[in-house]
Amino acid sequence: MVRCPGQDQRFWKPDDIFEIQCPQCGKSVEFFKDEPKLKCRDCGQIVVNPKIDLGCAQWCQYAEQCLGVSLAQDASFMRSKLIGEMEKVFAGDQRRIDHALLVLDYAEQIQQAEGGDPLVVKAAAILHDVGIPQAERKYGSRAGQYQEMEGPPIARKILERYDVHPDTVDHVCRIVGSHHSGGDIDTIEFKCIWDADHLVNVREEHADEQDIELQKLVDKVLRTEKAREMATELLSDRMPRVNGDAGSE
């Protein structure tokens, strides 16, 4: 088989071999441009190549053998693709785009502490509200009652476009279809989305409530220890400083 020119080092330029600083220990990790990720020799941290161009891998049938990764199952690759898909669904509605990105940020923090499948958590966080525009078109002011019904088919279509494993697609769609009501799902990935969405809603919808009422709310609805820690931090940030002294003990 003729070798892909992008992988043939005869066609490479000097800057196609470069060093990236390990985010864990700060030591240099040398990358060839076609290496998706490497393990730091000093601390063992997996370092992702931020310069890799996987454009051809989206359509090439030999991508997995060539690059050594399955792009459809790579959470960081899918993250950027799904954000783009979500932004298309919301068609410039920046408030909803920002909400989804903040839920994603919180869900990733919770997942890192609590565990679970990173791809399921990232995908469900990004796509959890994609049913809203369709529900608004069909049901108007009652859209909130139907977004869980409208969201899963849209999420499924997006995920299948990227050949995500069917089990992962099913899991994400169950979360999208239950992220407000709770449904009959109680996986750790669902808990990450449930808690992240509630944390964002506390910031967006309950900002004027008294701290004691907010504390009762988060104690009642949150399902993970990490989310409860994050809620405590959010509440503490609302408290005024004593005499303006941020460093007082």
| Confidence (pLDDT) at 174 | 97
Ordered structural domains, the chain, with CATH: 15-53 (no CATH), 75-238 (1.10.3210.10)
Sorting pLDDT into bands at 50, 70 and 90, what band is 71? low
Mean pLDDT computed over 208-220 = 71
Average pLDDT, the chain: 82
* pLDDT tens, position by position, 132-184: 999 999 999 898 889 999 999 999 999 998 888 899 999 999 999 999 898 78
Mean pLDDT computed over 31-35 = 80
* The three-state (H, E, C) secondary structure of the chain, written as one string: CCCCCCCCHHHCCHHHEEEEECCCCCCEEEEECCCCEEECCCCCCEEECCCCCCCHHHCCCCHHHHHCCCHHHCHHHHHHHHHHHHHHHHCCCHHHHHHHHHHHHHHHHHHHHHCCCHHHHHHHHHHCCCCHHHHHHHHHHHHHHHHHHHHHHHHHHHHHHCCCCHHHHHHHHHHHCCCCCCCCCCCHHHHHHHHHHHHHHHHHHCCCCCHHHHHHHHHHHCCCHHHHHHHHHHHHHHCCCHHHCCCCC
User: Where is average pLDDT lowest: 104-108, 118-122, 132-136, 215-219?
Assistant: 215-219
Q: Closest Cα to residue 182, out of 197, 167, 168, 169?
A: 197
Mean pLDDT computed over 41-61 = 68
